[in-house]
Structure 1
Amino acid sequence: MDAPPSRVYRALLDPEAVAAWRVPDGMTCRVHAFEARVGGAFRVSLTYDAPDAAGKSAGRTDTYHGTFVELVENEKVVERLRFESDDPQVAAPMTMTTTLTAAGGGTDVVLVHEGVPDAVPAADNEAGTRMALDRLAALVVRM
């Protein structure tokens, strides 16, 4: 990304920034709660724009909640989360680790998902993550 790690790190922990970037195309994001500290809780909903789409939580919405497990300033954010769903195949706990490394005048960002439920197609998770990272890259250039 064409921004220093400090700027990218801020965008990972700012609820308004998260609402702007952590959403795939064809969805909108609402951040309900966001305590950016180790042990702090967050809750986020992603709602499909298409009226006939089915969400993992209710209606057209995928809501997830979790906590911040590790925060290393300008280097790493580790989150433990799960979808809010009555379906245990969807509501399994996941870990998302975002690592930032200075590269030239910018930042290499690596986002690793662990424990993604089998009910969430890997291709869909990959595509959504790439879209979100593209939004993050565009956002941090403007910050």
Structure 2
Amino acid sequence: MGRTDRASRVIAAPPATVYSALLDRESLEVWLPPDGMRGRVEQWDPRPGGGFRMVLTYLDPADSPGKTSDATDVVDVGFAALVPPERVVQRAVFEAEDPSYAGTMTMTWHLTATGEGTEVTVTATDVPPGIEQAVHEAGIASSLANLASYLEAAD
């Protein structure tokens, strides 16, 4: 059994709006890459059993060598469950030669309505040991901050 990482944030938007941003290709490219990265979705199939392939490129690869190449992390993400507007379950596999990044990580996005909007909690299970916990949790928190900025600016 692998490690579990998590982060959460309240976003000033209703659950249905947050859920839609989790399943919109263009939105994901904007908010999902954590600080210091940009993302490009290469394949897109937003349905249970479908998924996407994202290329994450480090803006400064000298500070953060990639898993797939010196400057990139490539991840294939499958949608294991889509439960609008409450939950999205993803299975993520990194393209990497280093066995410390091997395996399938499950990312569960829980959306709970609150008085202020939506509490989004991301739980990552079976995290590959090559991914440092503090760095991973900071990356998830960064993506959540980006999601909040993206949705709250749309209001």
TM-score range normalised by the length of the shorter chain: over 0.9
Structure 2 CA distance for aligned equivalents of residues 108 and 41 of structure 1 = 24
Whether the aligned pair in 1 keeps the contact of 2:79 and 2:88 (CA below 8 Å) is yes
Q: 2:120 aligns with which of 87, 109, 129?
A: 109
Q: 1:77 aligns with which of 78, 88, 96?
A: 88
Shift in Å at residue 72 of structure 1? 0.4
Q: TM-score, normalised by structure 2?
A: 0.88
TM superposition outliers: structure 1 runs of 4+ over 2 Å? none
1:45-73 CA-partner distances (Å, limit 9, x unpaired): 11111142410011210110021000001
Residue 13 of structure 2: aligned partner = 3
Decide which moves more: 50-59 or 126-135: 50-59
Residue 24 of structure 1: aligned partner = 34
Give the secondary structure class of the aligned counterpart of 2:38: strand
Give the secondary structure class of the aligned counterpart of 1:115: strand
Whether the aligned pair in 1 keeps the contact of 2:61 and 2:70 (CA below 8 Å) is no
Structure 2 CA distance for aligned equivalents of residues 127 and 34 of structure 1 = 26
Q: 2:70 aligns with which of 59, 70, 77?
A: 59
The one-letter code of the counterpart of 1:36 is: P
The one-letter code of the counterpart of 2:142 is: M
- Point out the structure with the larger strand share: 2
2:129 corresponds to 1:118: yes
Give the secondary structure class of the aligned counterpart of 1:140: helix
Q: Which sections of structure 2, spanning at least 5 residues, go unmatched? A: 1-10
The one-letter code of the counterpart of 2:43 is: A
Q: TM-score, normalised by structure 1?
A: 0.96
The one-letter code of the counterpart of 2:56 is: L
Q: CA RMSD in A?
A: 1.1
Shift in Å at residue 105 of structure 1? 4.5
Structure 2 CA distance for aligned equivalents of residues 51 and 97 of structure 1 = 28
Shift in Å at residue 142 of structure 1? 3.0
Shift in Å at residue 41 of structure 1? 2.3
| Corresponding pairs, count | 143
Shift in Å at residue 90 of structure 1? 0.5
Higher relative contact order (CA 8 A, sep 6+): 2
